[in-house]
Amino acid sequence: MKLTYQTTEPLSPRPPASTKAGVLVRRRGVRPRRSPAGKATNELVFSAYQGMNADVFPHVLSLHVPVGSKIADITYGKGVFWKNVKLEYYELVQSDIKQGIDCRALPYKDQTFDCVVFDPPYMHTPGGTAHEGHQNYESYYKNNGTGNGTNKKYHEAVLDLYFLGSAEAWRVLKPGGVLIVKCQDEVCACKQRLTHVEIINYLTETMFIVEDLFVLMRTNKPGVSRVLRQRHARKNHSYFLVFRRKSVKPTS
């Protein structure tokens, strides 16, 4: 299948990569030189946007996932990411724990997909009265209902799912395939946990090369349920991380 970059997506301003080597400039008495190809522009995909997931995701795709790619969204949820994407450009296979498909045990053959999209819960609600203020996350993210397969809790459980799901993504991705990970940092038990750093460090040590990082900033002002004294900046941004699959998974 021949893959080409999309050029008509309204939210994808990236022009197709120029294949021209430039024009040969000749001036009398001067050695001919090749002028560089391309043009000056600021019509580009940027690393930070203010808005919603659906505003940024098409930009991530336009830069890193060629039209015609076979994509698995393994935490599809309500499919919000895809709201502004022209679905006819891709072959999308969607799944979620809500459909009984665990991202850690995908029902796909090795090396099936050009791209995997992974947006697991960025917070953990272990049940009981813990994280009481976050119980709404449980109904949305379903991270307690997955029976995590681990006795880890809170942030360690969040990381566990990212790491195991990414390893499974590595298995189903073709060599050189792209993994798009959505995440948000959190303060857990009063400790600053920079989830995006932890994910990048882990994945690039083992299975992937990091290709890109997008910051998404919320448009509204998030609050907290109770505050006595604020110790850390309230997070109002999240990340899309883009990784490329290494051919060989190191054994260590």
Would you say 162 or 208 has its CB closer to ligand SAM?
162
Q: Is 126 a binder of ligand SAM (CB under 6 A)?
A: no
Would you say 45 or 85 has its CB closer to ligand SAM?
85
Which of 6, 85, 90, 102: binder of ligand SAM (CB under 6 A)?
102
Would you say 25 or 127 has its CB closer to ligand SAM?
127
Would you say 63 or 180 has its CB closer to ligand SAM?
180
Q: Is 12 a binder of ligand SAM (CB under 6 A)?
A: no
Would you say 97 or 200 has its CB closer to ligand SAM?
97
Q: Report d(CA 194, CA 234) in Å as an integer.
A: 13
The alpha carbon of 175 is separated from its chain's Cα centroid by a whole number of angstroms, namely: 18
- Size of the residue set binding ligand SAM (CB under 6 A): 20
Q: Minimum distance from CB of 147 to ligand SAM (Å)?
A: 9
| Rg for the chain, CA atoms, rounded | 21
Q: Is 78 a binder of ligand SAM (CB under 6 A)?
A: yes
Q: Report d(CA 161, CA 165) in Å as an integer.
A: 6
Are residues 94 and 73 in contact, defined by beta-carbon separation less than 8 angstroms?
Answer: yes
Cα–Cα distances (Å) from 227 to 62, 145, 209, 230, in that order, read 41, 29, 40, 7
Q: Is 185 a binder of ligand SAM (CB under 6 A)?
A: no
Q: Report d(CA 64, CA 45) in Å as an integer.
A: 11
Give the range of 15-23, 64-72, 119-127, 229-237 binding ligand SAM by CB under 6 A.
Answer: 119-127
- 242's CB contacts (< 8 A; 6+ apart) are 60, 63, 64, 178, 179, 180, 181, 210, 211, 212, 213, 214
Interacting residues toward ligand SAM by CB under 6 A: 75, 77-81, 96-98, 102-104, 119-121, 141-143, 146, 161
